Structure 1
Amino acid sequence: GTGNDFARAASIPLDPGDAGRLLVGARARPTDLVVDDAGVVVVNASHAGMSAAAADRATDLKGRLGPAAYPAAAFLEGIGTVGFRATVRADGQELVGDDDLLMVGVGNGSSIGGGTPLFPEASLDDGRLEVLVARATGPLARVGFAARLRAGTHTERPDVVAAPATEVVVEGEPVPHCRDGEVSEPAARRTYRLHAGAWSVVRPAS
């Protein structure tokens, strides 16, 4: 896709020539995979809330802005978003209970939207998902979250919860989920399960 976020996570060069040369010296390595309760396979990340709305808006901007479409769309959505109410469970434990959220995401790879480091601790082969929940729903909080997100330091905010897991359940107000850049119809409940080493990708060692 335009953002090349899975390639970034896999340390595959973004230049096609460099990526082709990588195939000569690299080998296929076991790589984790995510499958949701609708049977959709996710190789990089899925997220809901403001970030998914931004991904939907970015679709109309890609022709003019290219990789800059997602940051621009995220800024516009961040100004007017009202958030949504949901409960998030990680491996059966309640991570956030029936609260107003700006966004929630599960990451196998570390970035979304062309390099935005939403899951700075994520790795493609560590046998776990990274879960991120942001409760920054106030106007000033949204601006602060966006600024820290671009720097990859958003997980240090008190209104952000981040944790590892192998199964994540998001349940509450129906919202679209953006799975590897594809925005779904709104869902009131979505479950994500990690399948460790379920496929192999030709890439450098992590």
Structure 2
Amino acid sequence: MQIHVPDLATLTPRAQRILDVASTLFYERGIHAVGVDTIAEAAGVTKRTLYDRFGSKESLVVAYLRQREEKWRKVLNEHLDKAPQPGVDRVLSVFDAAALWYRVHGSKGCSAINARAETAPEADGHFVFPEVSGQKAWMLNLFTDLCAQCGCPDPTATGRTMMLLFEGALVTLGMRTFAWPVEEARTAARAILIASIQQNNEGLRS
């Protein structure tokens, strides 16, 4: 099934309200637990208006994931701007951004991970998976680039380690396994980065 997702930058006020309401419901209750009737009622619109603006629930789900990702990247870029010089602090600013993001935007973990867990490739996963996998690929590339810039001898491997720490923290956050998982992941990331850079520097001197 082909879906058309409207340009988020050109949404009408009513369409934006529908998306905002749907986003809150999808994140708090789950994608499958929330139907278009519930969204329309909560947004104060008819189902016809919802379908006129978004075409389908599937389109609305993808719009929800994209809007949340756009907001996350804005917060992330603000933190990266505070640490403009390549180095450990710039890598760690990603974790700082996440700590702030989840304090403000909910503690149920990553919306992309949650959406993927709810969907199957042979069903609705065919439109969710490309969206969320693209978001995760972008994050991995970011970590790899940041690790290369700060002098890690193997930025690909270190970037993957940063990604594992980051994603594990988000899952732990959603599961509430223990408090402050993002901060714990940041501490571990710092130790790994410092050790990696020191190893590289020692290799250059030898």
What TM-score range do you get, normalising by the shorter chain? under 0.3
Whichever structure has more strand as a proportion of its residues is 1
Instruction: Return the TM-score normalized by structure 1.
Output: 0.27
Bigger Rg, which one: 2
* Higher RCO, Cα 8 Å, sep 6+: 1
Instruction: Flag the structure with higher helix content.
Output: 2
TM-score by length of 2: 0.27
